[in-house]
């Protein structure tokens, strides 16, 4: 049986973003090079449009589900609990999960997140506050963090 997924692809201030959606649930999301705009799922597309227009909480209600291990799901769930406009470290997430020595495993699960932006792996930074890595590139990560802080009315000083 072939599964047919809806696709939302839109142009954003930091490049094209594409989501694969099954029955209203985002299964994958990432920044992509090229492609044409599509809006097969208007609810997800509208939430993403609103996010990029400054309503930075708009993506919180998007339903997600991705394939992964139990541990990866625990980390990805923790990512969704990071408040918009804030950052945490891998160590913080490991402590929240009750396994303080697992910051490297948290980092690996974060790096394997298949739903960028909506599962906000960009809100995770190194323990020293530096940006660390981001699959979409550090300029996108910096832009997203700045956008979210501005959208929350947070005064920016030496941000990102």
Residues tagged active-site: 121
Average pLDDT over residues 132-139: 92
Six-digit token string for 146: 């700045």
Q: Give pLDDT tens digits for 42-55.
A: 999 999 999 999 99
Measured CA to CA, the distance from residue 143 to residue 64 in angstroms comes to: 23
Longest CA pairwise span in the chain (Å): 53
Residue 158: what pLDDT?
Answer: 47
Residue pair 73/80 in contact (Cβ under 8 Å)? The answer is no
For every residue of 97-109, DSSP letters joined together read: TT-TT-HHHHHHH
Residue 2 has pLDDT above 60, yes or no: no
Please give the model's pTM, rounded to 2 decimal places: 0.91
Q: Residue 152: helix, strand or coil by DSSP?
A: coil
CATH 3.30.160-classified regions of the chain: 6-61
Q: Give pLDDT tens digits for 15-61.
A: 999 999 999 999 999 999 888 999 999 999 999 999 999 999 999 99
- What percent of the chain stands above pLDDT 70? 92
Write the CB contacts of 99 (distance below 8 Å, at least 6 apart in sequence). 105
Q: Give pLDDT tens digits for 118-131.
A: 999 999 999 898 99
CATH architecture label of 70-151: Orthogonal Bundle (1.10)
CATH fold, domain 6-61, is Double Stranded RNA Binding Domain (3.30.160)
Residue pair 154/85 in contact (Cβ under 8 Å)? The answer is yes
Residue pair 82/120 in contact (Cβ under 8 Å)? The answer is yes
């Amino acid at each position: 049986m072939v599964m047919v997924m809806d696709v939302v692809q839109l142009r954003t201030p930091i490049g094209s973003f594409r989501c694969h959606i099954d029955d209203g649930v985002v299964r994958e999301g990432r920044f992509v090079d090229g492609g044409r705009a599509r809006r097969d799922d208007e609810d997800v597309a509208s939430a993403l449009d609103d996010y990029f227009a400054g309503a930075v909480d708009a993506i919180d209600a998007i339903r997600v589900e991705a394939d992964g291990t139990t541990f990866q799901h625990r980390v990805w769930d923790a990512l969704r609990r990071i408040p918009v406009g804030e950052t945490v470290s891998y160590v913080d997430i490991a402590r929240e999960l009750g396994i303080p020595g697992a910051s490297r495993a948290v980092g690996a699960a974060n790096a394997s997140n298949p739903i960028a932006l909506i599962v906000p792996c960009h809100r995770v930074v190194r323990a020293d506050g530096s940006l660390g890595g981001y699959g979409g590139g550090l300029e996108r990560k910096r832009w997203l963090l700045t956008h979210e802080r501005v959208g929350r009315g947070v005064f920016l000083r030496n941000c990102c």
